[in-house]
Amino acid sequence: MVGLQILKRQRRIAERYVQAFATLPVANVSDCMSRMTAGGSRLRPMHRSGRLGGPALTVKCRPGDNLMIHKALELAEPGDVIVVDAGGDLTNALIGELMVTYAMSRKLGGFVMNGAIRDVDMIGAGSFPVYAAGVTHRGPYKDGPGEINVPVAIDGMVIHPGDLVIGDADGLLCVPIDEAEGIMAAAIKKGEAEARTLQDIAAGKLDTSWIDAALKRIGCDPNPR
C-alpha cells in the first residue's frame, strides 16, 4: 500500500566505492555532477567532526512521526546511512540521543534527516555523522504512516535505496549506484588538477588569463578605463 509499506532493498553500493569516495571532497564530486545535485543548504552536520559515507536505507515518514525510523534501525546493516524524508518539518524532533546511541551500537554510517533532531549537546560532541535541517526539544509521535526503501527526495536530490550518500562540512550529496564509477574517476582527476593549481599558486605561476578571456566572451572590456 502506497504510504504504508516496507520494501526490501534490491541493491547496495559496493564497499569499494564507499572507501574511494571517503577521500574525495564533496565539493569536487558535486562539480563532477555538473553542480546539478545537492542535498540542500538547510541540512547541516550536527556532529562535531567526521565524514559521512555509506549506502542509503531510505525512509519516508509523516512529519513529526518516527515509527518507520525505528523500524529502519532494525533493518539497517553495518555502514548503512539512514536517509529520512520527513518533509523538512521542524515541529517535532525525529531522533535524539537514544536512537543515535542505538545506531552507533549497530555500527551504522550515520543519519540524514530532512527534519529536526534533539539532544544536540550529545550529538554535537561526537563524531557519529548526523545531518539535519533543524533542532527542537519537542519529541516525535510513533503512529505512522511511512515507507521504507522507496525513492525519496531532499530539495530535488533523489535518493534511491542503496545509492551512495556522502557528506562533509560543505553538505550532502547522493551518488547514484550506476554512475559511481564515472563520477569517482572524474572527481579523482579534478582533485589532481586542483593540486597542480595549488602548486602554481605557491610558486607564483598561476595562469589567470582565462578571466580576461571570459570577460571578452560576454562583451566586457577587461581593461579598466
Q: Which residues are annotated as a binding site for Mg(2+)?
A: 119
CA 157 centroid distance within chain: 10
**Pairing mode of beta strands 110-117, 93-95:** parallel
Residues annotated as binding site for substrate? 96-99, 118
Binding site as annotated, residues? 96-99, 118-119
